[in-house]
């Protein structure tokens, strides 16, 4: 594994070399999560010189449900990654929705654009796999490169690179490039330094998860419990989110909860997750002694909540750009897709002959995001808003959510897998509404 100041060459034959005090590239990508590594791969495979800077060393931990829908599977196969079970992936065939006493299983649809199966894999392993894949395509991966801030042209205000501190000794280094991609997560210090602030009219969610040993570890369905409630609330009101149990295939399950709008909720989420686990049926095998890791949590930046997604040479992707779905909390698929959109935009821009032409091409990136997500994310915000209004749902919420027809709609909304030319009327309707719903 490369050390803190080493870069992985494209062909893997040459010995890694230390980073020089100042380096230049065609593109700098800050952050080697799913968004950054996907962008770096698609950029590097076109022949561009890409620096991929990661503040940690792999493998590293990341709070996540570890479940991947067919949208994410498509992105992985486009990266040329072997997603067979022989390569360490657990395949699943759909989503099990539980509300009240109602349990319904929905298989992933087989569509022209997406495969008919999902995957499970731990994020520590998953993220490293993607970063190494980007390196194999030619991206220069630098681990333990803690980006301190942007380099800015004082005359134009345009970003021209970044400064970083490498390794334990925090050796200062500068990297320069005409285009920089922020893929540094929810905190995205680089974006903030470039005055890209989070929109306060967008909900922020949270996710908390742990692992416990269970006999159901090879469950072929991802499982979502929709009627999430605070057991200490006398009114037993619904919370705008859900809990999950995803079998990992290794003797354990990832169990967690995601709350999609925490603006008016003051709860101890770790305690809520522990209490919720205690209420699982005996067949799940949950007990405090079965827990294998502490409860960890993270914020969910949703609904394209940081803008502009492009300005002055800086593009925002993944969590840095708020690409988590406000309806489900799903983030990996949209992070990878945004990385690909950004890469395709940059490739076109750097092929232009004039500064004006490059700027026109780069300015198309925010529109690509809006076209892909604005409508669907608007529906997600509406769904989360309804769940968060006890006067609308109240005690009848679980009964309504448990209706088979509504659960079918909930499944289609959650997975965002539609076929525009499908014979299924609901499929066509959701595809249309997702395209035309007013996003802002």
Of the pLDDT bands very low, low, confident and very high (cuts 50, 70, 90), residue 393 is very low
Q: Determine the structural domain holding residue 152 and report its residue range.
A: 22-62+124-200+303-375
Question: What percentage of the chain has pLDDT greater than the value 70?
Answer: 85
User: What span, in angstroms and rounded, lies between the C-alpha atoms of 338 and 35?
Assistant: 7
Helix ranges (DSSP H) in 109-200: 123-136, 189-193
Does 357 fall in a domain? Answer: yes
Rounded CA separation 380/36 (Å): 25
Number of domains in the chain: 1
Chain mean pLDDT for the chain: 87
Is residue 285 situated within a structural domain?
no
pLDDT for the residue numbered 56: 95
pLDDT confidence band for 183 (50 / 70 / 90): very high
Within 8 A by CB and 6+ apart from 338, the residues are: 35, 317, 318, 321, 323, 369
Whether the pLDDT of residue 262 is over 90: the answer is no
Read off the pTM. Answer: 0.90
Asked if residue 281 is part of any domain, the answer here is: no
Distance CA 283, CA 299 (A): 31
DSSP code of 168?
A: T
* CB distance 345 to 361 below 8 Å: yes
171 burial type by CB count under 10 A (0-12 exposed, 13-18 middle, 19+ buried): middle
Task: Decide which of 266 and 104 is more confident.
Answer: 104
In-domain check, residue 211: no
Report if residue 348 sits inside a domain: yes
- Does residue 394 belong to any structural domain of this protein? no
Query: Does the pLDDT value for residue 196 go beyond 80?
Result: yes
The rounded distance, in Å, linking the Cα atoms of 244 and 273 is: 10
The pLDDT tens digits of the residues spanning 354-374 come to 999 999 999 999 999 999 998
Do the domain assignments include residue 180?
yes
Higher pLDDT, 12 or 157: 157
- CATH number assigned to the domain comprising residue 363: 3.50.50.60
pLDDT value for 7 = 43
- Whether 12 maps to a domain, the answer reads no
Lowest mean pLDDT among 226-235, 260-269, 362-371, 394-403: 394-403
CB-facing half-sphere around the CA of 19: CA atoms within 13 A: 33
- Report which of 94, 90, 96, 95 is spatially closest to residue 120, judged by C-alpha positions: 90
Q: What integer pLDDT is reported at residue 22 of this predicted model?
A: 67
């Amino acid at each position: 594994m490369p050390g803190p100041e080493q870069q992985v060459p494209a062909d893997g034959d040459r010995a890694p070399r230390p980073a020089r005090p100042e380096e230049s590239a065609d593109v700098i990508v800050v952050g080697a999560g799913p968004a950054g590594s996907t962008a770096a791969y698609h950029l590097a495979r076109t022949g561009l010189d890409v620096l991929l800077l990661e503040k940690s060393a792999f493998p590293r931990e990341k709070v996540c449900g570890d479940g991947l829908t067919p949208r994410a599977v498509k992105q992985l196969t486009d990266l040329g990654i072997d997603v067979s079970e022989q390569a360490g992936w657990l395949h699943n065939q759909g989503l099990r929705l539980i509300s009240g006493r109602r349990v319904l299983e929905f298989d992933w649809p087989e569509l022209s654009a997406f495969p008919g199966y999902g995957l499970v894999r731990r994020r520590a392993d998953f993220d490293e796999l993607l970063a190494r894949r980007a390196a194999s395509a030619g991206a220069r991966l630098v681990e333990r490169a803690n980006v301190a801030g942007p380099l800015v042209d004082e005359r134009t205000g345009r970003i021209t690179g970044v400064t970083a501190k490498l390794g334990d000794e925090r050796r200062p280094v500068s990297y320069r490039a005409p285009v920089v991609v922020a893929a540094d997560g929810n905190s995205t210090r680089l974006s903030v330094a470039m005055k890209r602030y989070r929109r306060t009219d967008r909900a922020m969610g949270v996710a908390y998860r742990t692992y416990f040993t269970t006999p159901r570890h090879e469950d072929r369905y991802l499982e979502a419990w929709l009627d999430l409630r605070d057991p200490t609330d006398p009114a037993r009101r619904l919370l705008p989110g859900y809990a999950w149990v995803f079998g990992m295939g290794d003797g354990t399950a990832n169990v967690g909860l995601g709350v999609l709008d925490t603006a008016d909720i003051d709860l101890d989420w770790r305690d809520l997750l522990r209490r919720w686990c205690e209420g699982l049926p005996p067949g799940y095998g949950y007990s405090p002694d079965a827990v294998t890791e502490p409860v960890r949590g993270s914020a969910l930046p949703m609904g394209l909540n940081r803008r502009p997604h492009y300005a002055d040479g800086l593009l925002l992707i993944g969590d840095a750009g708020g690409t988590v779905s406000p309806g489900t909390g799903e983030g990996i698929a949209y992070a990878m897709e945004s990385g690909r959109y950004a890469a395709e935009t940059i490739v076109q821009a750097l092929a232009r002959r004039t500064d004006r032409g490059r700027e026109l091409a780069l300015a198309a990136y925010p529109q690509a995001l809006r076209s892909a997500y604005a409508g669907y994310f608007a529906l997600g915000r509406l769904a989360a808003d309804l769940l968060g209004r006890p006067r609308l749902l109240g005690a009848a919420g679980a009964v309504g959510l448990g209706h088979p027809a509504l659960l079918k709609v909930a499944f289609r909304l959650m997975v965002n897998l539609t076929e525009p030319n499908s014979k299924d009327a609901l499929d066509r309707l959701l595809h249309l509404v997702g395209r035309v719903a007013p996003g802002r």
